Structure 1
Amino acid sequence: MSASLTRCCQRAVPNLLSPLNVSGLPLVQIRTAKRVKVGTGRGTMDTGRARRRNRGIKVQDGTFVHQGQVLVKQTGLRFYPGENVDISRNYTMSAMCDGKVIVSCERLNPKPDSPLYAPVQKGVIIYKKFFNVYPIRLHGKFRLVDQV
């Protein structure tokens, strides 16, 4: 059997190398890449620091604010809303009426679904900063509105 296999291979080899060029040597085709491979574009984006969104206190204690003006931008509850202060889903606090901002440090009384509820029930006293807006009458202070 091995003799028949070698004869088969000898017959197959000349058939593969049958085309000859002018010099009499067999032509061998070599496949090459048509384009240079480059890595995917996903890794080419800038991987620097994340963009910081102007977080922090926007107005100081004792300043006058108008309704809807942002008082604090924060992640999580670092500062708490007091009187006439509204808090949104992303914890941004804004004034609900025109008035003066008062920042006070008060004792925290959390709701039962808060993670701070259990320590307070055990006797831990927690103080947090609260932002309050106390309404005052507008005496010569007007809000400019663009005419449409």
Structure 2
Amino acid sequence: MTSLVQRILNHTTLLPGNVPGWLICARNASKKSSGSSRNSRGRTRGKHRGILKIDGDYVTEGTLLVRQLGLDYLPGLNVGIGRNRTLYAMYHGRVVMTTERFIPNWEHKVMRRFGSELKELHDIPIYKTYFHILTEPQKTNFKLIDQV
């Protein structure tokens, strides 16, 4: 048995520090690397949809009032509607929310696209929430600065 070890030691090359080469080994990966998975996205952040400004809030021009997917809330006085059905203030003023009877204009492009299920219910009154902006009344006093 000792002669076998001596034969192995005699035939191996010695590395610096008198260490035989067969004592130093490098291991490779023992597992196959895994591929990329498509279902590990995790949770995405919310879109912050819903009512952003409530009744009585003072808003400036261009402030977003409601973000919505459908037409849950409709634009009223001094309120515009964006391409993604977002309601925004067209002027400075106070927000007023009202619930009114909905009488659709079937010729409008938004109603032609999103109001198809309401056409069958034309006999039943539909009530929707409208957002209005009441602007500040202009001052009635006038001060003459210069006369031409």
For normalisation by structure 2, the TM-score amounts to 0.61
How far apart are the structure 2 equivalents of 1:90 and 1:37? 47
How far apart are the structure 2 equivalents of 1:116 and 1:104? 23
- Are the structure 2 counterparts of residues 37 and 138 from structure 1 closer, same or farther at C-alpha, using a change threshold of 3 Å? farther
Structure 1 residues 61-100: aligned runs within 5 Å: 61-100=55-94
Which residue of structure 2 lines up, in the alignment, with residue 57 of structure 1? 51
How far apart are the structure 1 equivalents of 2:119 and 2:36? 50
Query: What amino acid sits opposite 1:131 in the alignment?
Result: F
1:34 positional shift: 7.7
Identity %: 33
Give structure 2 stretches of 5+ with no counterpart: 1-27, 107-111, 140-148
Structure 1 residues 5-16: aligned runs within 5 Å: none
Q: Deviations over 1:99-123 (max 9, x none)?
A: 11110001111232221442342x1
- Are the structure 2 counterparts of residues 45 and 109 from structure 1 closer, same or farther at C-alpha, using a change threshold of 3 Å? same
RMSD: 2.4
Q: Deviations over 1:53-88 (max 9, x none)?
A: 111111111121110011111111111111111111
For normalisation by structure 1, the TM-score amounts to 0.61
Query: What amino acid sits opposite 1:40 in the alignment?
Result: G
